A = this chain, B = another copy of it.
Amino acid sequence: MKVSIVGVTGYSGLELVRLLNNHKNAEIVSVHASKDIGSALSEIYPYLKGICDLEISAFDSQQIMQKADLVFLAAPSGVAKNLAEDFVEAGFPVIDLSGDHRLPASLYEKWYQKTAPAKETLAQFTYALSEYTDVKGKKFIANPGCYATAVELALIPLLKAKAIDLDSVIVDAKSGLTGAGKALSASSHFVNVHDNYVTYKLNRHQHIPEIVQELQLFDSGLKHIQFSTSLLPVNRGIMATCYVRLRQPLSQDAIRDLYQSCYADKFFVRIQKELPELHSVIGSNFTDIGFAYNPLTNVLTVVSVIDNLLKGAAGQAVQNFNLMFGFDETAGLLTVPSYL
């Protein structure tokens, strides 16, 4: 299949190039950005020399629809919705990595502080957490957010099993800096990030409604989560540390069974014996999950880790691409965590 990437010079766009370059069922036929039009991608990003020497084009929906069979939108939230319109109208497949098509209009406007896409457009998009959503034959995919992916995969098994107090969910999530995008700001200046740890958007992060919405599919009784996000002085990786109270005590084995029953046939989710660390997954599309129950406090701690640019963005987008078209789920995604 021929694919185009819009927003190729953002972090998710560049990751899509890496993944699709080694994908047996996909060929990148055009890459689009708002700057450096006419230059080879590898001229602006010399690390891609000999790998992707395509010329950067301006966005042109008609041209994309002529050349390609599907478009990945790796543009920022607030921009992607406008870019998506022509494709949706024409029934041309879209995988949108932004937050623009994940929430109903009212929630989107509240949490993103931007005008929402038209309701008819939103209605056509499917929020696709690869392990739980059937996307076969779907045309318009809203790819999940990075934090949301880590949290949802950690908590859904507990909700499915009715194992926890629904008002007890507290998530302390941490991310590397690529999660914040390449925009320049004091908060992404090296000096302010290095040797630091900064909590931001407490109680205000736009992934909160996304997570709640997805979790409610598994237990509508869940109303809120307590959610904090912090910046780790690393480039890649998210750890979501989730604290929940159990309705009744469970053994470590019982908890493991509960997770295994959800993920036994899911290649990209691994239940680990020990708590996973960032190194467990960086450079791969895996989500690793571990946990420990404390009978004294009745708190179960669940830790999930992902590479925010892979399972948290471009990797899951390719996974959804594979599932939409019936390709091998792992095509283009068999990179081993770099670990070192």
Once the chains bind, are B196 and A278 in contact (CB under 8 Å)? yes
Once the chains bind, are A340 and B309 in contact (CB under 8 Å)? yes
A1: Cβ under 8 A from any B Cβ: no
Question: Contacts A232-B232, A279-B195; is A15 near B270 (CB within 8 Å)?
Answer: no
Chain A 273-312 interface mask (CB, 8 Å, partner B; 1/0): 1111111111110001000101011010101000001000
Once the chains bind, are B185 and A275 in contact (CB under 8 Å)? no
Point out residues on A near B: beta carbons under 8 Å: 11, 14-15, 17-18, 21-22, 45-51, 167, 170, 172, 174, 177-178, 182, 184-186, 188-199, 202-203, 223-226, 228, 230, 232-237, 239, 241, 243, 267, 270, 272-284, 288, 292, 294, 296-297, 299, 301, 303, 309, 334-340
Question: Contacts A49-B270, A172-B172, A177-B190; is A278 near B338 (CB within 8 Å)?
Answer: no
Q: What are 18 contact pairs spanning A and B, CB under 8 A?
A: A22-B334, A46-B276, A47-B288, A47-B336, A47-B337, A167-B297, A172-B241, A177-B194, A178-B191, A188-B190, A189-B189, A193-B194, A195-B234, A196-B278, A197-B234, A197-B237, A197-B239, A236-B340
A51 to B283, CA, bound (A): 14
Once the chains bind, are B194 and A50 in contact (CB under 8 Å)? no
Q: Give the residue of B11, B226, B278, B303 whose beta carbon is less than 8 angstroms from that of A294.
A: B226
Once the chains bind, are A225 and B297 in contact (CB under 8 Å)? yes
Known: A177-B191, A199-B277, A199-B303. 14 other contacts (CB 8 A): A47-B280, A47-B288, A167-B297, A170-B299, A182-B186, A184-B186, A191-B235, A195-B235, A197-B239, A199-B241, A224-B297, A225-B297, A230-B241, A232-B233
> From A273, which residue of chain B is reached at the shortest CB distance?
B46
Chain B residues with Cβ under 8 A from A277's Cβ?
196-199
